[in-house]
Amino acid sequence: MYKLLSAVFLIGSSVASLADTIEVKMLNKNDAGDRMVFSQELIHAEVGDVIRFLPTDRNHNAQSVKGALPDGQKSFKGKQNKEVEYTITESGLTAVICAPHQTMGMVALIVVGGDLSNAQEVLGARLRGKGKAKIKALIEEAKANQS
Ligand SMILES: [Cu+2]
């Protein structure tokens, strides 16, 4: 019995040490003075990680966009002023928007496993205004980081 318990404990602790929780704040203004932004805009993660969006300032949400996430990855949609978590199960790119402010550029790009293979799908998804332009720039930045 003791052996069984310690085996379970070892498995549990190794899983816990591999997966990270990455916290992203939803802000009215960041330290650089940019308004209506996520605290991180280019988020590098791995399968198994959780991205936790925090309602640090009011009237924001975080959600994925249809067609702008990897195949097989479950979408997510947080409510305004609520914390929401996105559990990563697939490698690739996910565009995240704040619905009220995406046209002002309140978006983020999650890059999982350094996999940019769905970049064209993300660029073809229904993104709007400054948010669309920023997602495009973040994909370019992610590509540049890799080369
Ligand atoms: Cu917002």
Percent of the chain with pLDDT over 90: 85
Question: pLDDT digit string (tens) for 38-60?
Answer: 999 999 999 999 999 999 999 99
- Single out the residue of 144, 130, 142 nearest to residue 35, CA to CA: 130
Residue 37 Cα to ligand 1 middle (Å)? 7
14: which residues sit within 8 A by CB, 6+ positions away? none
pLDDT in 10s for each residue of the chain, 147 residues: 556 555 555 555 555 557 899 999 999 999 999 999 999 999 999 999 999 999 999 999 999 999 999 999 999 999 999 999 999 999 999 999 999 999 999 999 999 999 999 999 999 999 999 999 999 999 999 999 887
The C-alpha torsion from 33 through 38 and 40 to 45, rounded to 10°, is 180
Residue 60 Cα to ligand 1 middle (Å)? 4
Residue 96 Cα to ligand 1 middle (Å)? 11
If you search the block for the tokens 């498995």, which residue do you land on? 11
Residue 71 Cα to ligand 1 middle (Å)? 26
Question: pLDDT digit string (tens) for 4-24?
Answer: 555 555 555 555 557 899 999
Residue 59 Cα to ligand 1 middle (Å)? 6
CB 24 within 8 A of CB 51: yes
Under CATH, domain 20-146 is a member of which superfamily? Cupredoxins -  blue copper proteins (2.60.40.420)
Q: Looking at residue 145, what is its pLDDT?
A: 87
The CA radius of gyration of the chain, in Å to the nearest whole number, is 17
Q: Is the pTM of this model over 0.85?
A: yes
Residue 106 Cα to ligand 1 middle (Å)? 6
**How far, in Å, are 11, 12, 53, 114 from residue 43 at the CA level?**
27, 26, 12, 11
d(CA 27, CA 6): 43
Structure tokens at 75: 């979408």
Domain boundaries, the chain: 20-146
Burial of 57 per CB tally in 10 Å (0-12, 13-18, 19+): middle
Q: Looking at residue 46, what is its pLDDT?
A: 97
